Amino acid sequence: MDKRKIRILQAIIQDYINTAEPVGSRTIAKKYDLGISSATIRNEMSDLEDMGYLEQLHSSSGRKPSDKGYRLYVDNFMQLHKLSPLEEHIIKTHILNSALYEADKVIQQATTLLAELTGLTSIVKSPSSKKSCIKAVQLMNIDSNNILSVIITDTSIIRNNVIRLKQSVSTDVLAKLSNILNARLNNLTVEEINLEVINNLRNDFRGYEDIFNAIIPALYESLNSIDTSDIYLEGTTNIFNYPEYNDIEKAKNFLSLIDNKDKIKNLINSSDSITIKIGEENFIEDAKDCTVISAVYSLKDKPLGTIGVIGPTRMPYSKVISILEEIVNEVNNILNNEYNDWL
């Protein structure tokens, strides 16, 4: 594509993002100093439409970017928005203040902030605990007939379970059994705790069969209770600020989409620092008119979950990506500084 077509396409995309109105050649000629006539711009726009970068809703209307046009813009021409000092301050102080709480509160605060600063619907997905590794199992006495089992994973998930025994057990015995459990289960995922592992534990617990029979079902219940992938959404009503959703059916379809957690989980699967899916690139039918931008947050280089936004394909990509990157970087810094020693 020659430089003139690129400049015209950039101008059309920028104008459409700003106004939500189909763009005509006269508009480009008046608002952007391209040094060419309206007639020349009109011919170039026709070529860009033939190439699949623009769409025309009606023969008498202007043109708007296609998914292919947005993709070319994002990959090749877009310059990232420089955050204002106020935006940077808000991100740092709001997320830092939430670090006084649990790790999941940090993520929820980041999601709220992302929705506020972008004006879009923000989403966070925590990973399935089937992919989490057990870091520690601890058995502790509560009283003569009850002990507490504590399971800690490498993704900061902690689960407690009270186990009732028929007889009291000394602290020394519980320490010994805790060591056995840690030796067998450390660094295993939930999926890897199979029948062979259980049978090995049964042999290790020889002489403590009653305790084994009470502990294993409780541990199994605890492990399965964390096999969830939580979805949090913020700013679900932000879509009504976009004229695209003045259409009641379109708005209902969007609200139905974000209410379906299974679809949302699939939409924001991300393995890269930033993933951008535009329109038809979303394989879920209800999201064909949407753009989803997401990023992975991590602890010690291990992915913990995904945070992102969903909205119309006509979104201010440069600003949204810059804000998302800054928020994810801040979340990663806090998780690694505040929670690293826990694991």
Backbone angles phi, psi at 319, to 5 degrees: -70, -45
Characterize the bridge pairing of strands 54-56 and 146-153. Answer: unpaired
Mean pLDDT in residue range 79-105: 79
Q: What is the set of domains in the chain, with CATH numbers?
A: 3-77 (1.10.10.10), 85-127+229-342 (3.30.450.40), 130-225 (3.30.390.60)
Ramachandran class of 156: left when φ > 0, alpha when ψ lies in -120 to 50, beta otherwise = left
Roughly how many angstroms between the first and final C-alpha of the chain, as a whole number? 52
pLDDT band at 158; cut points 50, 70, 90 = low
Name the pTM for this structure.
Answer: 0.74
Residue 127, pLDDT above cutoff 70: no
Residue 97, pLDDT above cutoff 80: no
What's the pLDDT tens digit per position in 295-336?
998 877 777 889 999 999 999 999 999 999 999 999 888 877
- DSSP bridge pairs for 297: 305
Mean pLDDT in residue range 273-300: 91
Residue 250, pLDDT above cutoff 60: yes
> Which of 254-263's residues contact partners 24+ apart within 8 Å by CB, and which partners?
254/286, 254/290, 256/286, 257/284, 257/286, 257/287, 257/290, 258/121, 258/123, 258/233, 258/310, 260/286, 261/231, 263/287
- Highest averaged pLDDT of the listed ranges 7-16, 124-133, 266-275: 7-16
Classified as helix, coil or strand, 94 is: helix
Residue 129 CA to residue 106 CA, distance in Å, equals 19
Mean pLDDT in residue range 274-288: 92
